Every structure is written in C-alpha cells, then in structure tokens.
Amino acid sequence: MMLFSSSSALSLPSDFPKFPSPSSYRHGNSRYNVRCSVSAGKTNLELQNAVAATATATAAAATATSDPLSRFPKLPALAAYLCDAADDFIDKYLDKPPKPSVDPRVVLAGNFARVGETPPTECPRIEGALPACLNGVYIRNGPNPLFPPRGAHHLYDGDGMLHALRIRDGSVTLCSRFVHTDKLSQEAVAGRPLFAKVFSGFYGVAGVARGVLAVARGALGIVDNAYASGLANTSILFFESKFLALGESGMPYAFQIASDGDIINTGRHDFDGRLTLGMTAHPKIDPATGELFAFRYAFPPPFLNLFRVSPNGEKHPDVPVRSMRQRPAFIHDFAVTGAYTVVPDTQIVVDPMRMVAGDGSPIFCDAAKVPRLGVVPRYANDDSDMRWFDVPGLNFVHAVNAWDEKGGDEVVLVVANALPVDYVLEENHLLRFAVEMVRMNIKTGAVSRKCLSSNRCLELGVVNPRYLTKKNRYAYMSIGAPFPKACGVAKLDFSKADGDHDGAELVECVVASRVFGDNCFGGEVSFVPRGEMGEDEDDGYVVALVHDERADLSKLLVMDAKSPTLETVAAVELPTRVPYGFHGLFVSD
C-alpha cells in the first residue's frame, strides 16, 4: 500500500471543508468507484469527511494484496515523497513563466476566484414574483479548483462545482458542492494536487516529465490513473431520472438533489458498464423519442466515436468515424436532427508529438487545415454513408440547434463561429463570434452560409428544449463582455433568415436584448417553458446567474422571454458569491 506524505499537503482557505489527514489514506492501483450514500441532512464538513473516508476504505479493501511495495513498510512513504519532490521540481525548474491566459493571478481574479462549499441556505431576498413554472431546480456547473494552482492554470482545468437553486412556491435555497470525481477524491485526501492539468500541464519538456511522473505514480500505487483526467466541470444532463455532471475529459458523475436542496454525489456513471472512456459534455436528447445522442473522441484511431442511449438507459454500441483520418480534432459540441448527426472537424487539433518534439501544447490550431462538417444518418451502424462538407473558416465551439428541411435532403445548422479560432484556447477575451446558419444539401453537396447578426459577440446559444433536433424560431444567446464573461442576453428570430434575401450574406435576426447592468456579468442562460406543448415557442422565461462585481453580490435573474425587452420579472439575491462558470440546466418538479 502507498502512504501519502503529509509534509507535502497544501493549505486550503479557511472557508474550504477539512478533509482527513493525508497520513490516514492508503490505496493502491486497482480501479475503484467512490460512491457517497451520505444522508441529505449531513453538514458540509460531515459530507466531505464521509466521502474521503469512503474513498480510503474502498481503495484499501480493493488493493490490500496488490500493492508492489506492501512488503516494505517504509518504502511507500519514501516513494510518495520522491514523486512529490519531482512534481515540485517540474513546477519550479522546467515550467516557463505562465502566459496571462494560464496565469492563475489573472485566470482566477475577481469573480473567477475559488469558493468553498455552501450547504443548503435560504436566499435572503427576492424582488418581484417567481413564476409558478419555476418550481424545480436550476443547476449551474463550472470550474473551481480545490487547491491553489501550482504553476500555470487554465480556466478549463478547475474541479467541477455544482451550484443548485431549489425553487419551491416562491422560496429559493442555494447549495454549492464539488463533484466528487475520482481525481478530486484522491487529491482531497492526499492534501495536494496529484494529476497533471489537461489544458495547462502538458507543454514541452515539462509536459513530458509530468507524463512520466503520472505513469510512475500509477505503477507505484500512489494514484489510480484509470479515471484521473475527468473533472466533470462543464455541463449537466438530466436523463433517465438521473442528474449527471459532465466533462469531456472523463466519465459522467451522478448526483441527486435532496428535498432540502442539498447535492448528494452518488458516484461515477457508466451506463451499466457500457461506457468506458468518457463522453461529450454536450449530449443531445430528442424530445420526441427520449433518446440520448453523444460522442467521444480520443487520440488513438478511430479518433471519433458516436453512440446513442435508449430512453431506458441502454447504451448502444459505438459507431466509429473512420473517415476522420487526420489528427483528431478537438470536438466540444455537435448537433442532431430528426434524421442525421452533424459533427465538426475543426482546425483545433490534438497532437501529443508536438509536445514531445518541441515546446508547445498538444492542443493547438492548425492554420492549414480546412474545417469540415460531417453528416451521417443518426441510426447508422458505421460511417459508410457519412458525407463531408468543406466549410472554410467555420470553427464552432457550441451548436445552437439543427433540423431537416426539403424532405430530409437539406440539413440546417445554427452555430456560433469562433473568430479567430486561434484564440479559443489561450486568448478567450479576444474571441469574437459570428452566428451563422449553414445549409447542407445531402444530394448535391451544396453548402450555403448566412450570418444572422451584426453583433460579433453572441455565443452560448440555447433554445426551448422542446424544439431540439427540429426546426425552431427563437434562440437566446449571451452577449460577450468579452467572453468568458457575458454582459447580457440577446433573442434571435431565425424566421427572419427565411428566403434568399437577394443573396445577402448578413440578415439581422436579433429582435430583443437585455443588458444586466453596470458591472454586472453572467454566462450562459437557460430557457424554461411556461406551459404545455400547445404554447408558443417563446412562451417562457430566461434565467441567468449574474454577479454584481461592484457590490460583490450574486443573483438569479428571471426574464420574460416574450417581452420585447426581455423584462426582468424576478431577481433572487444569493447568500454567497457564485463564481462565473459554464453551462446550466433547469429541471421542473
């Protein structure tokens, strides 16, 4: 067994939960699944201690006879100490000074700063009246490092933290909890970071050294590397009556919302053992069939695999996309229509050899590559019927929606095109986005594109979830301030783009907007339908988490989606600061 060295533990802020002493943690290198069955009434401290204790007991029982160093009681602590020392050496002597885009003093400044957990706490004040259709829970996922970053730190590298707002009959309760991934569970009890960061830890010689160190720690039984890359910090899925925290670098992690609003982690979710290598953070649910469509990408060929899950939770076999023959693209999102699946092959690519041979990141922009869109029947068993369309300069991070037209001969896709794509990973604040409608004719191969707004700072588009995979009229997009912060929301009407418009490349589709106010910023919004299926598509509310940087106060805003000004009908003052994050989800009672 391997004993962690307590001398290497990092100190946590006073508002962070306390974990068991690292010297009490032993575990080997066999795989285990940390699960939490703590009751909803547990306090923050009790819940965290219980999770760490569960990890300790489970791992120790699973590896009592498998640790290669178990016969030598003093060697485990020595091996852990040497690995920690090597980690410190890499940080101090091999890493170059971080660029502003990965400098933690910049990345984690202001309302991006780390926060501790918040047990269920009633919100102190509500302005206006909360609509009855908001009875339910709004949850937002985002990055929140458990430990102070060592060296470079990318925003995308933070541990997943869920912020849940339980709304019931006009009262609101906030709860914030970490997602108990395998990575976080191991690091929490060890008292220090143990795993290299995907977006900021693999650069040049230092990245190679970290890769070697990761292998050594796993071989010595210091860590379990099986699912160590997963952060579950990006989005949330509600499927088969389960909440799942998602992040494309790893597996989904399940959780529950207790009656008092607490977030209860229940462990890694693998669809009864049929999912082994993670999945996208942006799966799609067809509201007509209840099916879930998703993908995963990895470096060994085939680089991309599509799959679907039946409404009862049965995962179908992967469909490998072998026609993607070049270096794997960094694919964050995709789209699904009633008949097809649409995947991007962007200029953002992954090549580990670039890190080994030079001094760069394995994730970079290939300026010579022509972006493509791949369209394949969504129930295909292979990619033999996949059609690739060249779309020069089209690199989207997030899709808004897609649907079929002309009897299935034409696929329509709405996305936010990143301009320039070079800034997607390193200079987010310089990014601009053009909302584009792309039409692809399956029979002729023709492609047409139309820009839907003169505003070049619209991203993170959402639609009424009842209209996913089919033609819809409205979308609600965040206004960059610049990104990753948003200063407001804009409503687009796609029907304004119908017709030829005399070949115009730009058709203004923005029909309403709202700015959050001076020094007030948020991120992605969510749409909550007001009534049943017979209501208008835009009959509902737009909800957003917003932070007033001057007052250091976080709020939940509720806006009337039908209003020509997206009028605010309610504002809920939150009891603690909620940092800026990524994607959210509303689930009604």
35 phi and psi, to 5 degrees?
-130, 145
Ligand-binding annotation for 547, yes or no, is no
Whether 398 has a binding-site annotation, put simply, is yes
Cα–Cα distance, 267 to 251 (Å, whole number): 10
CB distance 561 to 527 below 8 Å: yes
DSSP secondary structure letter of residue 265: E
| Beta bridge partners of residue 505, listed in sequence order | none
Nearest to 93 by CA among 204, 217, 212: 204
Q: Is 501 labelled a binding residue?
A: no
Euclidean distance between CA atoms 254 and 478, whole angstroms: 28
Render the burial of 27-48: b for 16+ CB within 10 Å, e for the rest.
bbbeebebebebeeebebeebb
Q: How many other C-beta atoms can be found within 10 angstroms of the C-beta atom of residue 505? A: 10
Cβ proximity of 424 and 397 under 8 Å: yes
Q: Is residue 423 within 8 Å of residue 439, measured between CB atoms?
A: no
Residue 210 identity (one-letter amino acid): R
Taking the CA atoms of the chain, what radius of gyration do you get in angstroms? 24
DSSP result, 343-402: EEE-SEEE-HHHHHHSSS-SEEE-TTPPPEEEEEETT-SSSTT-EEEE-TT--EEEEEEE
The 3-class secondary structure across 162-190, one letter per residue, is EEEEEEECCEEEEEEEECCCHHHHHHHHH
Which amino acid makes up residue 557? L
Sequence ranges of the binding site: 282, 332, 398, 583
Sequence ranges of the binding site for Fe cation: 282, 332, 398, 583
